[in-house]
Amino acid sequence: LVSREHHAERSTVHVGGVPIGPGTMTLIAGPCAVETPEQTLEAALMAQSAGATLLRGGAFKPRTSPYAFQGLGEEGLRILADVRAETGMPIVTEVVDARDVELVARYADMLQIGTRNTQNFALLQAVGEAGKPVMIKRGMSGTIEEWLMSAEYVAQRGNLDVVLCERGIRTFEKATRNTLDISAVPVAQRLSHLPVIVDPSHSGGHRDLVLPLTRAAIAIGADGVIIDVHPHPETALCDGPQALVREDLAELTELMRALPPVV
Ligand code: PEP
């Protein structure tokens, strides 16, 4: 269902009216985790000022350590909904457990499947039935074929509004958090009709890599990027070192303004 053999033309997925697909370079940005109403609104306004049309923010956080901040849960979703009402930005947020899909779908405009859940097949099937667009991160140790099969699980349940997100894979290299497999973008676009975006924040893992990797995503023809921003990353409860700060926004804005208009 997700292959170009089934559907030759590349698809566009609309998230609360915002297109992601051929000819777009949709900027999704916001905090890694929703922490407070003030932090989320500030991050959203920073993102919007740089050209973001969709707001990201995790209310359910899949953390490596069970002692790390796990997200605010439904309270976080309520905060996101309030910020959407204030800014007009549709929400992209992660769901980590099949039992929470209905709850998260009540608030979200797009459901995010994180790298750790890319092969959680029960979760994929549940989001396939939730009636909302879905973004699937590539598994950190997953092949492109496995990633496409994850999308197939969602599509098989009747939901073809799926966006693929390359977020870096595990390699021997330690200088970056993950190795951004930029070649996965054209490969996935050749094999599948689904839009393909890049996460330069979770791949690089360092603030100073985010804009160079964004340039790479634009150059290779990605359909969008998803970027962490935070008003005060030194106090962030999750992934502060990779969040863009106010000083980075001028360059991000310039990158977004230089893009050709969406037709
Ligand atoms: C995220 O985008 O918040 C996230 C946890 O990303 P990943 O699943 O790619 O690690």
Q: Which atom of ligand 1 is nearest to the CA of 33?
A: 3
Q: Which atom of ligand 1 is nearest to the CA of 199?
A: 9
**pLDDT the model gives residue 160:** 97
> Per the structure block, which two tokens stand in for 99?
């039992």
Alpha helices in the chain (DSSP H): 37-49, 74-87, 101-107, 121-128, 144-156, 184-191, 200-204, 207-220, 249-257
Task: Give the CB-side neighbour count of residue 225, counting CA atoms within 13 A.
Answer: 30
Ligand 1 centroid – CA 39 distance (Å): 19
Ligand 1 centroid – CA 58 distance (Å): 9
Q: Where are the domains of the chain?
A: 13-252
**pLDDT the model gives residue 260:** 85
Measured CA to CA, the distance from residue 188 to residue 250 in angstroms comes to 31
CATH (one of 3.20.20.70, 3.40.50.170, 1.10.287.3510, 3.30.200.20) for 13-252: 3.20.20.70
What is the Cα gyration radius of the chain? 17
- What is the per-residue pLDDT across 83-111, written as a single tens digit (0 to 9) for each? 999 999 999 999 999 999 999 999 999 99
- What is the per-residue pLDDT across 147-185, written as a single tens digit (0 to 9) for each? 999 999 999 999 999 999 999 999 999 999 999 999 999
Ligand 1 centroid – CA 32 distance (Å): 8
Ligand 1 centroid – CA 263 distance (Å): 30
Q: Which atom of ligand 1 is nearest to the CA of 32?
A: 3
Tell me which residue of 14, 28, 21 sits closest to 167, measured CA to CA: 28
Ligand 1 centroid – CA 33 distance (Å): 10
Residues forming beta bridges with residue 94, ordered by sequence position: 112
Q: What angle do CA 171, 3, 228 make, to 5 degrees?
A: 45
Q: What angle do CA 98, 140, 119 make, to 5 degrees?
A: 30
Phi, psi angles (nearest 5°) of residue 144: -65, -40
Nearest CA to ligand 1 atom 4: 114
Residues forming beta bridges with residue 229, ordered by sequence position: 244
Residue 262: band (very low, low, confident or very high) from pLDDT cuts 50, 70, 90: confident
CA max distance for the chain? 48
Ligand 1 centroid – CA 1 distance (Å): 25
Residue 261: band (very low, low, confident or very high) from pLDDT cuts 50, 70, 90: confident
List, in order, residues 6 or more apart from 158 with CB less than 8 Å away.
128, 129
The model's pTM is 0.97
Ligand 1 lining (C-beta closer than 6 Å): 32, 58, 62, 94, 114-115, 137, 167, 199, 202
